[in-house]
Structure 1
Amino acid sequence: MATAGKVIKCRAAVIWEAGQMPSLEEVEVAPPRAHEIRVKIVATGICRTDDNVRAGVFPNIDYPVIAGHEAAGIVESVGPKVTCVTPGDKVIPLCLAQCGECTSCLNPKTNFCLKIHFFQSQNLMPDKTSRFTCKGKQVYHFLWTSTFSEYTVMPEASIAKIDNAAPLEKVCLFGCGFSTGYGAAINSAKVEPGSTCAIFGLGGVGLSIIMGCKTAGASRIIGIDINKEKFAKAKELGATECISPNDFNKPIEKVLVEMTGLGVDYSFEAIGHIDTQVAALTSSRLDSGTCVLVGEPPSGLELSFAPELILCGRKLIGSLLGGWKSKEALPKLISDYLNKKCNPDALISHTLPFEKITEGFELLHAGKSIRCILMF
C-alpha cells in the first residue's frame, strides 16, 4: 500500500490520565518493525476491561494510553520477517498472545503464553518502544492491540488471519467477549449434557457463557444479575430462568443451593467482583462442583474464603479468553460462525461511529448496552 513504511496520522481515543474519559485525538502511528504488523481497524467493541483501563484499576498501565482490544481489521503493512499475514488480509488482534514458542504455548493443557501481561508490560512493544505519538508525547500501547486507534501496530504473536468472507463489524466480538464466555463453558468448565449451571453477570461475556452452556447440553441454566432488563436477552440465548439477588433477603448462594439441592454443577463469575466470586464458588455443588472465574477484579484485590469450601471436592479454576489457543483457535471459531454453528450477533446492542466513543462508555456505565461496536 502507498502508506507502507511511512508514519500514518489518524484518529485515536487517548486516555491521558487514569479516571478520564478517552479523548479523540490525531496520533502518529509509526511503521511496523521486524516481526510487527500495522493494521487498519474497521470495528472495535467496548469491553469492561477497557473501562478498567480508563478508571485506572487495570494492573501495570502507564498513561497516556490507547486502550481497546476487541476488534477486527485489515493488514495495512508488515515489517521484516513477518510470514503469518500479508497486506490486505482480514485479521483479529489477539489480546492474549500466542507466540507458539514458549513452554506454555507448547503445552496442550493451557492457552497461556509466557509473553502476555502477567509477566511483562504490554504498554510497549516487545523492543520496549512505542509506535504511537500524540502532540509530541509518547503514547503507550495496551495488550499489544490498542484498537481504539484507526491504525495500530502489534507483534505477529498478537494477530490471527481470518476468512476473507468474515464481516468485520460482527466478528470483532471473537477478539474477546464471545470467545471468552463461550470457551469458559466449552473448554474451561467442560460443561456436560444434563448439567445445571449458574452464571453471575449477564453482560456480553455472561451471555456468551449461556450460549456455551446451551451448546454443551446443560439442562438448567440460571442467569443472575441485579439488572432485570437483561433477563429477556439471557432467556433468548438459552437461560432457563433468571434471578436477581435484590429479590431475596438471604445470600444468593443460599438461594441457588435451595433451588438445586446441593448446588449447581457449574458456576461462572463474569463480573470481576470478589464477593460474587466467593458466592459463585459457594453456590456450586459441595462434592463435585466446578466454579470458573472469568471476570477480572480491579488490581490489588485478594480472594479469601474458608478452605472447607473446596476440601469436599469443589474445584475453583480460572479462564483466560475461554481457554482457546488464540492464534490457531479463533480462525476456526470464525469459520464455525460463517457456517452458522455459533451466532454472537445477538450480543451487539449498539453500533456507533468511532467519534461517539464517549457515548459508548456511557451506555456501558448505565447498563444499557451488551456490546457497543465502534465503526471507523
Structure 2
Amino acid sequence: MATAGKVIKCKAAVAWALNKPLVIEEIEVAPPQANEVRIKIVTTGVCHTDLYHLFEGVNKDDFPIVLGHEGAGIVESVGPGVTEFQPGDKVIPLPFPQCGKCRFCKSPKTNQCADAWNTDSMKSSEDSRFTCKGKKVLQFFGTSTFSQYTVMNQMAVAKIDPAAPLDKVFLLGCGICTGYGAAVNTAKVEPGSTCAVFGLGAVGLAAVMGCKAAGAKRIIAVDIKPEKFVKAKVFGATDFVNPKDHNKPISEVLTDMTNGGVDYSLECIGNVEVMRSALESCVKGWGVAVIVGFTNKDDFAARPFQLIAGRTWKGSLLGGYKMKTGVPEMVKAYLNGKIKLDEFITHNMTLAQINDAIQLLEHGKCIRTALSVSPP
C-alpha cells in the first residue's frame, strides 16, 4: 500500500485522564518495526474492561492512552521478519498473545503465554507507535482498537477467513470467546447437566450460548434486570431468576430449584460477593463454579468446607482459548452457523459517538455496540 513505511495520521479516541470523556484526536501512527503488523481497524466494540481502566484505573498516571481491545481490521503493512501476514489480510487483534514457543503455549492445559507477562501486555505499553500533539500515547492491552490504525506484535494477531464480516466478528476478540469458552473449555459443561449463569451482559449471554452448545438440559439465567431475560432466552436459557424477587440468598433459591444445587455455575459480573454465591449454588460432591467476570479491586472468600465438600472453584481467562488459533476457529463456527454473533449487537455507531457507546454500556442499556472506525 502507498502508506507502507510512512507515518499515518488518523483519528483515534484518546483518554487524556482518569474518569474523563474520550477525545477524538488526530494522532500519528509510526510504521511497524520488526515482527510488527500495522492494522487498519474497521470495527470495534466497547468492553467493560475498557470502562474499568477509564473509570477506576490501576494507575492514574496511565494516560494519555488509546483504549479498546475488541476489534477487527485489515493489515495495512508489515515490519521486517513478518511472514504470516500480508497487506489485505483480515485479522482480529488479540488482547492476549500466543508466542507458540514458551512452556505455556506448548501445554494444552492453559491459554496463557509467558510473553504476555514478560512484556507487561496486561498493562499499558509505553512502547507504543502512537503520538499526539508531540506527546507519546500509551497502548492498551497491546491492541488499542479505538484508533483507525494500530501497530501490534504479530504474535497477538489472528488471521481470519477472508469471507468474515468484520462488523460482526470483532466480537470474538474478547467478550464472546470469554463467555462461550468459559462454559465449553473451562467448566467443560456436560450434556444433560444443569447450569446457572450470573450476569447477562455480552459475556454472560455468551456463557449461556456455550452451555446450550455443550448440551446442558437446564440453563438458569440470573440477573437483577428482568428485561435481559428475553435476550437470554434467544441464546438458550430455560429458567430466569431475579435475586430481588426473593427474600433469601440466591444460592438457596437455586439449591431449592435444582434438588441440591447446579452442576455448573458461571459468574460473569466481576463481583466478589456474587462469586461466592455462584460457588454456593453448586451441588456438593461435583459442582464446578467458574469465575469469568473481571475485577482486581477486592479479595474473594468462602468457607473451606464449600470446597472440602467436593466443589471446584476455577478461573477462566478469555474462555481458555489459545487466541491465535482459537479465534479463527470461532470465526469459522460463526460462518457455519454454529454460534450466534449478530444477536449480541444492539447498537451501531461511529467512532465519533464513542462516549455515547460508553454511557450505554456503563448503564446497562446495551449488550454490545458496533463502532464503525474506518470504512473497510
TM-score for both structures, normalised by structure 1: 0.96
- In the alignment, the residues of structure 1 paired with residue 36 and residue 266 of structure 2 have an alpha-carbon distance, to the nearest angstrom, of 36
- The one of 352, 359, 363 aligned to 1:362: 359
- In the alignment, the residues of structure 2 paired with residue 255 and residue 341 of structure 1 have an alpha-carbon distance, to the nearest angstrom, of 33
Q: Which residue of 1 aligns with 2:340?
A: 343
Q: 1:2 to 1:124 in 2, by over 3 A?
A: farther
Matches within 5 A, 1:155-234: 155-234=153-232
- The one of 259, 262, 265 aligned to 2:260: 262
Matches within 5 A, 1:274-289: 274-289=272-287
User: Per-residue deviation at 1:61?
Assistant: 7.6
Contact map agreement 1:72 1:172 (CA 8 A) in 2: yes
Structure 1 unmatched ranges of 5 or more: none
One-letter code of the match for 1:19?
Answer: N
Structure 2 unmatched ranges of 5 or more: none
SS at match of 2:127: coil
Q: Which residue of 1 aligns with 2:93?
A: 93
Deviations 1:216-260 (A, max 9, x none): 110110001111110100012100011111111111111111111
Contact map agreement 2:96 2:121 (CA 8 A) in 1: no
Q: 1:141 to 1:293 in 2, by over 3 A?
A: same
- In the alignment, the residues of structure 2 paired with residue 160 and residue 111 of structure 1 have an alpha-carbon distance, to the nearest angstrom, of 14
Contact map agreement 1:179 1:322 (CA 8 A) in 2: yes
- In the alignment, the residues of structure 2 paired with residue 12 and residue 41 of structure 1 have an alpha-carbon distance, to the nearest angstrom, of 10
Aligned length: 373
1:331 aligns with 2:309: no
Q: Which residue of 2 aligns with 1:42?
A: 42
- In the alignment, the residues of structure 1 paired with residue 360 and residue 174 of structure 2 have an alpha-carbon distance, to the nearest angstrom, of 19
User: Per-residue deviation at 1:308?
Assistant: 0.9
- The one of 350, 368, 373 aligned to 1:371: 368
Q: Which residue of 2 aligns with 1:148?
A: 146
Q: 1:25 to 1:117 in 2, by over 3 A?
A: farther
One-letter code of the match for 2:98?
Answer: Q
One-letter code of the match for 1:135?
Answer: K
Deviations 1:69-94 (A, max 9, x none): 11100000101001111111000001
Matches within 5 A, 1:236-255: 236-255=234-253
Deviations 1:165-197 (A, max 9, x none): 000000001101111111111111110011000
Q: Which residue of 2 aligns with 1:77?
A: 77
- In the alignment, the residues of structure 2 paired with residue 121 and residue 335 of structure 1 have an alpha-carbon distance, to the nearest angstrom, of 27
One-letter code of the match for 2:217?
Answer: S
- In the alignment, the residues of structure 2 paired with residue 344 and residue 172 of structure 1 have an alpha-carbon distance, to the nearest angstrom, of 9
SS at match of 1:140: strand
- In the alignment, the residues of structure 2 paired with residue 26 and residue 63 of structure 1 have an alpha-carbon distance, to the nearest angstrom, of 16
SS at match of 1:291: strand
Task: Single out whichever of 36-45 and 20-29 deviates more from structure 2.
Answer: 20-29
- In the alignment, the residues of structure 2 paired with residue 47 and residue 27 of structure 1 have an alpha-carbon distance, to the nearest angstrom, of 23
SS at match of 2:115: coil
- In the alignment, the residues of structure 2 paired with residue 343 and residue 174 of structure 1 have an alpha-carbon distance, to the nearest angstrom, of 11
Contact map agreement 2:62 2:124 (CA 8 A) in 1: no
SS at match of 1:226: coil
Contact map agreement 2:17 2:60 (CA 8 A) in 1: no
Q: Which residue of 2 aligns with 1:14?
A: 14
Q: 1:35 to 1:212 in 2, by over 3 A?
A: same
User: Per-residue deviation at 1:21?
Assistant: 2.1
Contact map agreement 1:292 1:318 (CA 8 A) in 2: yes
TM-score for both structures, normalised by structure 2: 0.96
Q: 1:69 to 1:60 in 2, by over 3 A?
A: farther
Displacement over 3 Å in runs of 4+: 57-61, 121-125
Q: 1:117 to 1:20 in 2, by over 3 A?
A: farther
- The one of 308, 311, 314 aligned to 2:311: 314
Q: 1:359 to 1:60 in 2, by over 3 A?
A: closer
One-letter code of the match for 2:35?
Answer: H
- In the alignment, the residues of structure 2 paired with residue 118 and residue 284 of structure 1 have an alpha-carbon distance, to the nearest angstrom, of 36
Q: 1:362 to 1:300 in 2, by over 3 A?
A: closer
SS at match of 1:328: helix
One-letter code of the match for 1:360?
Answer: A
Q: Give me the identity figure in percent.
A: 53
Contact map agreement 1:53 1:61 (CA 8 A) in 2: no
User: Per-residue deviation at 1:120?
Assistant: 2.2
Contact map agreement 1:122 1:141 (CA 8 A) in 2: no
User: Per-residue deviation at 1:366?
Assistant: 2.1
